[in-house]
Chains A and B, each alone.
Chain A
Amino acid sequence: MFEGIPLHWFLILGTIMFFVGIYGFLTRKNLITILMSIELILNSVNINFVAFNKFLYPDHLEGMFFTVFIIAVAAAETSIAIAIIINIYRRLVDIDVDKMNKMKY
């Protein structure tokens, strides 16, 4: 299905997604968007894994496994993160990340 598409296209896509994720993570103030940015970063990594697996070691499946692991972990992480965010919201009635500095020093 992806015959003919060279490896570096996948890598370029992954890099773009990664930096978009980073950018989002650093600049957005809303915790939910920050969470979404993290998902972007994770998925860019997933693309890399899958692409490398397919192109370099077609007869192995480690890349695929890792991807599946990451998806599972990300799901768990997201659910916990959202739980935390909801709690924060209940307490502060806000999910602006700049205001969440109660535990400094």
Chain B
Amino acid sequence: MIDFSYTAWILLLPIFLFIVIGLLGNRFKPIVSGIVGTSGLFIIWLLSLVTAYKYFFVLEKAADGSFLKFMAFNMRWLNLTDKLHIDMGVLLDPISVMMLIVITTVSLMVHLYSIGYMHGEKGFSRFFALLSLFSFSMLGLVVATNIFQMYVFWELVGVSSYLLIGFYYTKDSAVAASKKAFIVTRFADLGFLIGILMLSYVTGTFDFITLTGPDSPALTSGQGVWFLGLSTMTWSMIFVFMGGAGKSAMFPLHIWLPDAMEGPTPVSALIHAATMVVAGVYLVARLFPIYVFSAPVALDIVMWVGAFSSIFAAIIACTQYDIKRVLAYSTISQIGLMMFGLGVSGYGGHEGLGYMASMFHLFTHAFFKALLFLGAGAIIHAVHSNYMNDMGGLHKNLPITHATFLIACLAIAGVPPLAGFFSKDEILAAGSERSLLLYWVEMIVSGLTAFYMFRLYFSIFWGKKQEYHQTPHEAPKTMTIPLMILALGALLAGLIPFSNFVTSDRLPFVSHLDMGIAIPAVLVGLTGIVVAAFFYLKETDIPDKVFKALGSFSQAAFHKFYIDELYLFITKKIIFNYISRPVAWFDRHIVDGAMNGLAYITNETSDRIKKLQSGQLQQYALVFISGALLLVLLFVYLWTS
């Protein structure tokens, strides 16, 4: 057995970087922070690569040929009850190792890119400190050995995301967006917490290995009907999924993600495209055996939510003009696809195709979506606008960005042999075995995906020529190199035989391309591209006509189906006006009023009786003497009778 305990450094190094850059960053030139942060992350990246290599290729496998699932390192953090305790440690299994690679690679690229992108910004070193904090939190989340450690880091990624979205803290929209992101995910986290409480009460453990192992207490306990005809275990898994849905921006908790684009673009690429938002998918994957065996209803919910979110977001993405928002909705749609993949999956071998495909898509998506965002960042950097109406004909000015952006678009549209093709094909294959209806829904989604991505591509790089104040020019090397590396990933990641490494039961199996699904999927994708080219390659009025022809539906889609307005209504009107204000009023006037009233009554009473103390000597004497006389008479009367 190889000693993996050094993996603790993968966690310790970034938090150390955060503290050092955070405290000392302002003492040096800003660039120092950037270099320190990037080189620190480079070391972490190397450590992760070494870990992955050792885990997948050197480490011996279990007796049945499956990859081991073990704790490289674990220490007690807090004792709760006799049975329950929170540990902090590093759990290694195929998905956590895979996530290590994804996070460190994308994070390294983003660090490198940010040196160029954030150049000259105020708060440069703060940015790098926060990136380190985020890397720490995200790495801690994926290697969590128990569900509570995951929750701890889950909250930490939430707050790093909050701080990074609100990076431009003097901009009101950024502040509002960061607040919204935090509160929506916090609300979802409440569900996660309740789910954890129920799960841990029923099973008596937080530990992932115990929970998902063959003798898991989750398989036997909590199966009885508890509420609304569902078992305790099902409810707890539904609540846990609520947390996952919040972080992964699934409908109806997706509203924060588009607004989160107010953050700097590298942040969007790292957090809101490649890593944090897939945490929900990762969470479901982590607890997958429980979902499959103990809570199939909850898994069905995962499937439906995933499928609905993917089509819903894809439709909205076709109508947006802010390029980062298009990408954000595209992210929601793609994550919906991953959730769908998990939802349709079974356990073990070919049954678990959906699981494998979902993880595979997570892996490839990280590359091309980070690439898209970084590309968008380079474009915004060049033209100083987020709106595609302000762009056009940029293919000559930004050759490298253009090429890499095209690769990413082809990858996400599912054109073979790029990365997205393989993973999406597997998900569709898994879906077709489960539900034909949803299979076709996802087919439409992939058509829409191709359409809106190429709508974006054509309107930015082709279409009408724009007059720019300054001629847009290519970004500096620190920005283009990450683009090229990620483009390489988007080109080649699909060729990895993923089912040899990551499967639901950790046993490798051979998956092959199903031509019956691949061919229609590719055709649908190409149709989307052709339609987009037809609409947007040259400046035409077809899009407007189509938009008008669809009438109120397209209007609704443009307004994101009014979900934001609904939330605003609930929070501002109902909670703020109809709960919080009455509570404040009640407190001031009823509770406090009662106290003040008590004081008032005391005061009044004393005011009334104090009149008796007139200060008139003779009045006092009269009362005194009559009292004395009365007493004497009383005594005499008592004495004699």
Contact = CB atoms under 8 A, between A and B. Distances in A.
A and B touch in the complex (CB under 8 A): yes
Interface of A: 22, 25-27, 34, 97-98, 100-105
Contacts of B613: 104-105
Contacts of B615: 100-104
Contacts, number: 27
Interface string B574-612: 000000000000000000000000000000000000100
Contacts of B618: 25-27, 34, 97-98
17 contacts: A22-B625, A25-B621, A26-B618, A26-B621, A26-B622, A26-B625, A34-B617, A97-B617, A98-B616, A100-B615, A100-B617, A101-B614, A101-B615, A101-B616, A104-B613, A104-B615, A105-B610
Contact of B614 (A25, A34, A104): A104
Contacts of A27: 618
Contacts of A34: 617-618
Interface residues on B, range: 10 to 19
B141 to A, nearest CB: 71
A102 B617 CA distance: 11
A104 B621 CA distance: 15
B461 to A, nearest CB: 90
A21 to B, nearest CB: 11
A69 B610 CA distance: 38
A94 B24 CA distance: 83
Interface in B615-633: 615-618, 621-622, 625
A27 B619 CA distance: 10
Nearest to B606: A105
Nearest to B618: A26
A26 B626 CA distance: 11
Contacts of A26: 618, 621-622, 625
Contacts of B616: 97-98, 101
A46 to B, nearest CB: 19
A103 B615 CA distance: 7
A104 B613 CA distance: 6
A98 to B, nearest CB: 6
Nearest to B625: A22
Contacts of A102: 615
A16 to B, nearest CB: 16
Contacts of A25: 618, 621
B630 to A, nearest CB: 15
The 8 closest A-B pairs by CB, nearest first: A101-B615, A104-B615, A105-B610, A26-B618, A104-B613, A97-B617, A26-B622, A105-B613
